[in-house]
Structure 1
Amino acid sequence: MRSCLRSGVSLLAALLLGAGGASALEVRVLVASAPQLTVRVPPSPASVTGLPGAVSAGALPSVTLPTQAWTVGVTGTGAAAQLTLNGQATGSGTLYLPPGAGRTVEIAGRTYRGGVHLRAEKGAVQGVNVVDIEDYLRGVVPAEMPASWPAAALQAQAVIARTYVAARVNPAAPYDTCATQSCQVYAGTQAEKPATDAAIAATRAQVVAFGSKAASTYFSSDSGGFTASSAEVWGTEVPYLTARPDPFSAGGPRARWRLEVPLPQVQAVAAQYGVKVGTLSSVTVTRLSASGRPAEILLVGASGASRLGGAKAGGFIRSLGASGTRVTLAGLNPLVIEGSGAGHGVGLSQYGALGLARAGYDHLHVLGFYYPGTVLGTLSAPAAQLPASLVPALSPALSPALASPVLASGPALPVPDPLTVPLARAGTRVE
């Protein structure tokens, strides 16, 4: 029993240490991190390149592993940290199973296309899915936008998702992006839908570009009728992320909302933002941004007054539980927050994209409206794909250094005229 287990671990380690052919453009997504991870690999022929005394590259044997689970752990600390497979040391702090044609891999209970890079990091095992960018999008677009929405909206979401991750490819980092809302949601194969697959295929390699680089394609659920500028939300001015009226978002489920916050909660949130004025007696907006969002909030208490400005004003509103920051404030106990929209409001509004699509605009007009001054770019892969750091030194395989994706700029994106939107359509509730 022990002999069979040892052979199985050695064989998996050899496969993980080997290098394989890269696909068109691969991205690395951190999908799990824990003291132990379970990895399952379905049956798939693979070349063994890491076994002791392996034959020459021209005559590598091929084996097929049965579907089974391996528990990947970590032992040691710092530079001495190494991964374990089913409790047995591998002698390396990083293991790699390359993507293969049609390959899927289950990491911590979720199935992904492509391969997996496992690495020891601060006492934990990081599972990084290495996947073709188009396959990656198949697990992103339906996780970020309902697959039942019109094709133009789905295609716009596909383009900005592709642009977002292309801009984050960083050969010097251990991974390019994460799988949560902190980056963009990536749910693997279980999220895939025919409609979103079609939208991804229809826009293959398309990205939003500005100045020969991938644009910062921020998006939120609903602009509340007026997009926010990057400067007012994050303090950084970006030419194409400006504040402007957005009639296309009218009618979303969060177009109008109301929230009542008890005074003790307001007091606690204020303290989190460094406000030390004693018991609050009033909370008022004293200055608005160009998009109508609070740019300064005055908090008056028994022992003084304090102001929250810029990004802190919006952060304070969100910390109170508001779904968006285009709001008015009234009262105190409770503090009544009435608002419109959901999310930060910068860049594309998803409900606005839905409104544009229902008004008959294609995805290029959607992108042109929310990222004015940008152009349509085409993404292509460099010859080199996987960074050498993905392969431990003991592996006989060679991998070229990862280069950034190549972007070719194209025509300017068209901008729809909001005045052409029928009023009835603009005010219709959309789901």
Structure 2
Amino acid sequence: MRVLTFLMVLVAPCAAGALDVRVLVASGPQLTVRLPPPPGPGLTTPLAGPPAPAAPSVPWTVGNRGGKLTLGGQDAGSDVLYVPPSPGSLVEIAGKTYRGGVLLRAVSGGVQGINVVDVEDYLRGVVPAEMPASWPAAALAAQAVIARTYVSARINPALPYDTCATESCQVYRGVPAEKVGTDTAIQATAGQVLAYGDKPAQTYFSSDSGGHTASSEEVWGRGIPYLVAQPDPHSAGGPRAAWRVEASAAKVQAAAERFRVRVGTVRSVGVTLTSASGRVLEVTLTGTSGSGRLSGLQAGDFVRALGAHSTRVRLGGSVGPGQPLVLEGSGAGHGVGLSQYGALGLARANADHRRILSFYYPGTTLEVLADAPGGRGRPVLAAAGVGHAE
């Protein structure tokens, strides 16, 4: 059996879960944290006993004085305080409720609040934040697998936390986001992740491919064998399947100046090179003092600055006072990997989550996270009979 070991060391002793994730959920000059009543006087004392029956009720105001944490204005004697997760435990950090425990760190300028939570409980606050919980079970299951893969690949004990709670990582909204439909999808795919060879796959996704997925090479300049450009007829029913926006002459001029294209007053803009998936690779601008080009990532950023929902866009022609530049395109987002509206289309056509993942990540396999034999907090990726995502 092929096995991939993920190094997983929790931030403090007395780790509880098979795979706990550290999520930066809040930071500021000070944070308010609510916890179940501790068994002793110290916040660092691990919680014990039965699961918390209700929302946490003991408030702590945590600050930073001279690089050390304070509790209610009193010196806590450390720059790190940790309450590990326990079965059923809840914690409120900066007014939001999360499952698991909390790690508090003194950092320059204040305090970081890091939720330490079992990966399956973490997903309960991620999947409904990334995909509507009312969508078909197969689409939700596919989203659960790629979300689990994403975070499993990013666990790194050498860093202060593994992931954040915003769109820069994966959106994570904690307990208030949880829904029955997404909880069911997470349970149905428990432990499942995508792998390529002996490593976790890079499970990028976007809202809508616009009818053709993009390769990682054309978008980011880095080729990954299973992130390829291919027709995607399943992404046809989304709100951005076809769109049209207008950019005023002032907006075009401001974008040209932002990207340092020195052509004087812009008179025309055109796409002069596209990728295999129909996405912009080069834009040419002509103005009163000459012409200039933007290519690669800058070309894509330029059209997005004009209001394009994706870089699978057509534009061109004159621009001037009272004459806006018209952009017509399809899709939303970068288009690499899974298209959420494509997953919806496949699910409506009775495809299961294996078929969805196989289409968007060809050549990957579906594996299962498990504990390493005799290891504590060191998850492994094992074939475990799940097989190819086909």
TM-score, normalization: structure 2? Answer: 0.90
SS of 1:247's partner is coil
Partners of 1:233 and 1:344 within 8 A in 2: yes
Of 333, 336, 343, which aligns to 1:343? 333
Partners of 2:81 and 2:103 within 8 A in 1: yes
Of 385, 408, 420, which aligns to 2:382? 408
Partners of 2:56 and 2:92 within 8 A in 1: no
Q: Spell out, residue by residue over 1:270-304, the C-alpha distance to the aligned partner (whole angstroms, 9 max, x if none).
A: 22222222111211000110000111111122222
Closer/same/farther in 2, CA of residues 277 and 197 from structure 1, 3 Å limit: same
Tell me, in whole angstroms, the C-alpha distance in 1 between the residues paired with 2:29 and 2:349. 50
Partners of 2:124 and 2:177 within 8 A in 1: yes
Partners of 1:48 and 1:62 within 8 A in 2: no
SS of 2:291's partner is strand
Report the counterpart of residue 97 of structure 1 in structure 2.
83
- Residues 1:24 and 2:14 are matched in the alignment: no
1:368 Cα shift? 0.1
Partners of 2:34 and 2:56 within 8 A in 1: no
Tell me, in whole angstroms, the C-alpha distance in 1 between the residues paired with 2:348 and 2:160. 41
- Residues 1:253 and 2:239 are matched in the alignment: yes
Structure 2 counterparts to residues 123-202 of structure 1, below 5 A: 123-202=109-188
Partners of 1:298 and 1:305 within 8 A in 2: yes
Partners of 1:208 and 1:376 within 8 A in 2: yes
Deviating more after overlay: 307-316 vs 216-225? 307-316
Q: Spell out, residue by residue over 1:198-254, the C-alpha distance to the aligned partner (whole angstroms, 9 max, x if none).
A: 000000010010021110000011000000111111111111001100000012111
Q: Spell out, residue by residue over 1:19-39, the C-alpha distance to the aligned partner (whole angstroms, 9 max, x if none).
A: 534112101101011111110
Number of equivalenced pairs: 369
Tell me, in whole angstroms, the C-alpha distance in 2 between the residues paired with 1:196 and 1:290. 35
TM-score, normalization: structure 1? Answer: 0.81
Report which of the two has the higher share of helix: 1
Tell me, in whole angstroms, the C-alpha distance in 2 between the residues paired with 1:300 and 1:381. 60
Q: For the pair shown, which has the larger CA radius of gyration, 1 or 2?
A: 1
SS of 2:168's partner is coil
Partners of 2:43 and 2:81 within 8 A in 1: no
Partners of 1:153 and 1:357 within 8 A in 2: yes
Closer/same/farther in 2, CA of residues 173 and 355 from structure 1, 3 Å limit: same
Tell me, in whole angstroms, the C-alpha distance in 1 between the residues paired with 2:42 and 2:94. 26
SS of 1:241's partner is coil
Partners of 1:18 and 1:50 within 8 A in 2: no
Partners of 1:105 and 1:112 within 8 A in 2: yes
Of 352, 357, 370, which aligns to 2:342? 352
Tell me, in whole angstroms, the C-alpha distance in 2 between the residues paired with 1:203 and 1:370. 18
User: Kindly, what percent of the aligned residue pairs are identical?
Assistant: 64
- Residues 1:221 and 2:207 are matched in the alignment: yes
Closer/same/farther in 2, CA of residues 204 and 18 from structure 1, 3 Å limit: closer
1:69 Cα shift? 1.6
1:46 Cα shift? 4.0
Of 24, 34, 49, which aligns to 2:28? 34
Tell me, in whole angstroms, the C-alpha distance in 2 between the residues paired with 1:285 and 1:322. 13
Q: Spell out, residue by residue over 1:148-180, the C-alpha distance to the aligned partner (whole angstroms, 9 max, x if none).
A: 100000000000000000111111111111100
Of 373, 379, 382, which aligns to 2:363? 373
Partners of 2:127 and 2:144 within 8 A in 1: yes
Deviating more after overlay: 143-152 vs 316-325? 316-325
Partners of 1:295 and 1:310 within 8 A in 2: yes
Report the counterpart of residue 10 of structure 1 in structure 2.
none
Deviating more after overlay: 219-228 vs 373-382? 373-382
Of 53, 61, 72, which aligns to 2:62? 72
Q: Spell out, residue by residue over 1:340-362, the C-alpha distance to the aligned partner (whole angstroms, 9 max, x if none).
A: 11111100000000000000100
SS of 2:356's partner is helix
Tell me, in whole angstroms, the C-alpha distance in 2 between the residues paired with 1:407 and 1:67. 38
SS of 2:153's partner is helix
Which segments of 5 or more consecutive residues in structure 1 lack a partner in the other structure? Answer: 1-16, 386-402, 415-431
1:68 Cα shift? 2.5
Tell me, in whole angstroms, the C-alpha distance in 2 between the residues paired with 1:289 and 1:299. 19
Tell me, in whole angstroms, the C-alpha distance in 2 between the residues paired with 1:238 and 1:258. 31
Tell me, in whole angstroms, the C-alpha distance in 2 between the residues paired with 1:117 and 1:133. 16
Partners of 1:20 and 1:100 within 8 A in 2: no
- Residues 1:112 and 2:88 are matched in the alignment: no
- Residues 1:232 and 2:224 are matched in the alignment: no
Deviating more after overlay: 318-327 vs 23-32? 318-327
1:48 Cα shift? 6.8
SS of 2:277's partner is coil
Deviating more after overlay: 222-231 vs 67-76? 67-76
SS of 1:412's partner is coil
Tell me, in whole angstroms, the C-alpha distance in 1 between the residues paired with 2:345 and 2:80. 47
Tell me, in whole angstroms, the C-alpha distance in 2 between the residues paired with 1:38 and 1:48. 18
Closer/same/farther in 2, CA of residues 62 and 140 from structure 1, 3 Å limit: closer
Tell me, in whole angstroms, the C-alpha distance in 1 between the residues paired with 2:210 and 2:102. 40
Which segments of 5 or more consecutive residues in structure 2 lack a partner in the other structure? Answer: 1-10
Of 42, 67, 72, which aligns to 1:86? 72
Of 250, 273, 279, which aligns to 2:265? 279
Q: AA paired with 1:141?
A: V
Closer/same/farther in 2, CA of residues 161 and 62 from structure 1, 3 Å limit: closer
- Quote the RMSD (CA, aligned, Å): 2.3
